[in-house]
Amino acid sequence: MPTTTVTVTLKVKGEMENKRNLTKPDPSELKYKSFKVYARNIFKSSLITSFPEIASSKSLTKTLVKITVFALCLIGFIYQTWDFLALYLSYPTVVNVLVNNPFEIVQPAITLCNRNRQRRRVICEKKESKCSFEENAKEFCEKYPRYCPGRKSPFTGVYNGTLIQDKFSWAEALKEAHNDTIVEMCFKVVEGKRVPCERTLRRVPVVTSSGEPNMCYTIESQWEEPDAKPEIYPNTFNFDVYLFTQPEEYMIYTEPILIQGAVHDRRRLISPYAKGYSFQGGVEYEAYVSMTEKQMLPAPYDTNCTDYVKLWKENGGTGPLNELMCIEYCKLNTLIAEGKCIDKNVAYPHMEPLCERDVVTVTSDMIKSCTDSCASPCVDQQYEIKYEEVNNYAHVCNDEWCRFARIKLSIYFKRFRVTRFIYQPKFESVEMFSYIGGYMGMWLGLSLVSFFDLFETITYLLYYPAGRSFWKSRKQKKKAMLAGFNKGVFYSSRIY
């Protein structure tokens, strides 16, 4: 049977070849025999300078010294990197100050109030008034010349009572306060052309520093107009505002004739009593406007600002636009929610029921809570105005009423200067990369390539238990296969 003999012979030769392959030394046996040998082989091929030296060192003392030095350097690198990351993740900011004189300016608004909050005629015409009346108008004008407006017949009532009130009402304040005639004329002057102010005066209810209600009027307001665009003018633009003080309506004859005013952002309602200037009757003023602007960063940066402009637009063009007004708005809403009256410590314009004199409803806990809930604005603009008295009406008036009846206010922007405080991140992401790279080079002498090699080395070391387990499993399989081949060769030899 020659065919059978050849087939059996080839089969035996193939099995002998497989047997020789199974009995060849396995490279993995030396690789995974011990962790020391495995680690030494990994370190020898590493790009990190100290690893091949540690692996090839034959002196135990030198090996331990080098390992200790590397470990200390690694600890130093980790500590300094961790310390920097803690600083970076706190998101610190730095402030850059920029000062410039822009050619274009955004038109502001002006809010004005007569310091006399109760008109004499209205008070004296009340039934319960404490007014005395002079029968002879001529004698009255000689005694009270400020109460006699030119050729008009004077109102001869003189208030003899006290102005101190215990109870306040917005309805009464609206009747008693000066109306919008305090703004006699208003012009916007652009390149010598005078254009009347277009917008209707907006009435603003305010509370004086003594807690008494009064009515103010805002020129060129954009309150409740979230979609209104800012009006841009060259810095040659200016306002000319003519004010009528109505000195004949002052309750106290000897009281100074004053109008309280403030220049501010058109989107705000403000109280000129909180931050404003007192204009004396009979004087012409020039005001020169500048601005301070802060640009902050929202969370997670340490400035943690709030975009009040966005909230203002979402609320239909109402609400606070800076931190201070947010606190006042918070106090107002808290008192409303608690069903309490509003005392003089709330500076946000409102028409809610007022407290009686000397009644305080705002608590320190309320102030603290509101202060904690209100953050700094992301963009905060504050106007800074320098006022100058340039003239008076004494040279054109023949009587005392005329000398105090009017005020001219010219607001100029030709000296307009913007001081910007721009908050920026102290560390950008590229700087973090540079800092950590510097620490890595200083402590470990690593480049980016060797840094990735370090991760590869660590990965290989962590793989050792799995590799050793796989090698043992494969070794057991080879033993079983070798035992099977031995049986097969014996069987084939017996056939042959």
CB count in 10 Å sphere of residue 12: 17
Predicted pLDDT of residue 24: 52
Predicted pLDDT of residue 33: 64
Q: How far apart are CA 92 and CA 57, in angstroms?
A: 47
Range with lowest mean pLDDT among 136-150, 232-246, 351-365, 469-483 = 469-483
Query: Three-state DSSP class for 224?
Result: coil
> What average pLDDT does the segment 32-44 reach?
68
pLDDT digits (tens, 9 = 90+) for 294-305: 999 998 998 999
Predicted pLDDT of residue 494: 40
Indicate if the pLDDT at residue 489 is higher than 60.
no
Predicted pLDDT of residue 203: 94
More confident residue, 268 or 62: 268
Query: Three-state DSSP class for 354?
Result: strand
Predicted pLDDT of residue 198: 85
Range with lowest mean pLDDT among 4-8, 14-18, 253-257, 261-265 = 4-8
Look up residue 227 and give its amino acid. Answer: D
Predicted pLDDT of residue 492: 43
> What average pLDDT does the segment 411-421 reach?
94
> What average pLDDT does the segment 467-478 reach?
71
Indicate if the pLDDT at residue 396 is higher than 60.
yes
Indicate if the pLDDT at residue 468 is higher than 60.
yes
Give me the residue spans of the domains in the chain: 100-118+163-425
pLDDT digits (tens, 9 = 90+) for 167-215: 999 999 999 999 999 999 999 999 889 999 988 899 999 998 888 999 9
The residue ranges of DSSP E strands in 393-447, in sequence order, are: 406-412, 418-425
Average pLDDT, the chain: 85
In the CATH scheme, what architecture does the domain 100-118+163-425 have?
Sandwich (2.60)
More confident residue, 54 or 118: 118
Predicted pLDDT of residue 62: 75
Indicate if the pLDDT at residue 161 is higher than 70.
yes
Indicate if the pLDDT at residue 6 is higher than 80.
no
> What average pLDDT does the segment 33-39 reach?
68
Token pair recorded at residue 441 = 């080079």
Range 49-52, long-range pairs (CB < 8 A, 24+ positions) = 49/445, 49/450, 50/445, 51/457
Most confident of 7-11, 279-283, 474-478: 279-283
How far is CA 292 from its chain centroid? 15
Model confidence, pTM:
0.75
Torsion (CA) 117, 120, 123, 126 in degrees, nearest 10: -160
pLDDT digits (tens, 9 = 90+) for 312-356: 999 999 999 999 999 999 999 999 999 999 998 998 999 999 999
Q: What share of the chain is helix, strand, coil (3-state, %, to 5)?
A: 40, 25, 35
